A = this chain, B = another copy of it.
Amino acid sequence: MFNGIKPVPEPSLRRLPSYLYFLQRLKKTNKKVVSCSVIGQELRFDPTQVRKDLQYTGIVGKSKVGYDIDKLIDAIEIFLGWDKISPAILVGVGSLGTAVLGYPNFHRHGLEIVAAFDRDPNKIGNVVHGKEILHIDRISDFVQEMHIHVGIITVPPEAAQIVTSLLVLGGIKAIWNFAPVALSVPPDIIVQNEDLFASFPILSNKLSAILKVK
């Protein structure tokens, strides 16, 4: 399994998009170069940490000058794979699914949702945020024929495993799972779980601390 390449730490991966967004704003001000300390000051990160994060993308800077903003934007986008569009489908057009479908910037994040699926006959054929809703029976064939890379699961927890199996059957490469259940998949399939309420226990803990003091 070990191939000599250290995996990029998850905290770094999570920070990279915020660098990208800042650089895109900076580019609009006609700046050409930027240093780690400027980025760090803006985003409240340690400059050394910024430098290390950026190095994972393979960017090379200039001493005394900093990084070329255009090059840096490209490097981050390429590193995350956001320069090439992967076709995706979304399964489960409830309110969460609708919210995800409504996100306008997936194409800038390497994703294009080409269709949505649901099991409710009343929804089939409707168009939500520009995507047609197809019946869930057609998922496997659709994934296979359209070479879909990513499946986004926004169905209720009970349905998530069945949907997963259908996606896998069609040859999906990665699953972005918003349902609060663990999915079982073959080892070569990427599963990334997204917890809508992930940070809530931290809020709870802080809130209960101040409520107790009172």
Contact = CB atoms under 8 A, between A and B. Distances in A.
Given A150-B203, A203-B176, A206-B192, A198 B14 contact: yes
Residue in A102, A198, A205, A208 with the greatest tally of chain B CB atoms within 10 Å: A205
A185 B140 CA distance: 48
A1 interface: no
B173 A190 contact: no
Per assembly, the copies of the chain total 2
Interface stretch (A27-35, A67-75, A80-88): A80-88
A66 interface: no
A110 interface: yes
Contacts of A208: 79-81, 84, 110
B102 A206 contact: no
Interface string A134-163: 000000000000000110000000000000
A65 interface: no
A1 to B, nearest CB: 13
A201 interface: yes
A81 B194 CA distance: 24
Contacts of A196: 99-100, 194, 196
Given A198-B198, A201-B16, A206 B98 contact: no
Interface string A96-133: 10111011000001100000000000000000000000
Interface of A: 8, 10, 13-14, 16-17, 79-82, 84, 86, 94-96, 98-100, 102-103, 109-110, 149-150, 173-174, 176, 190, 192-194, 196-208, 210-211
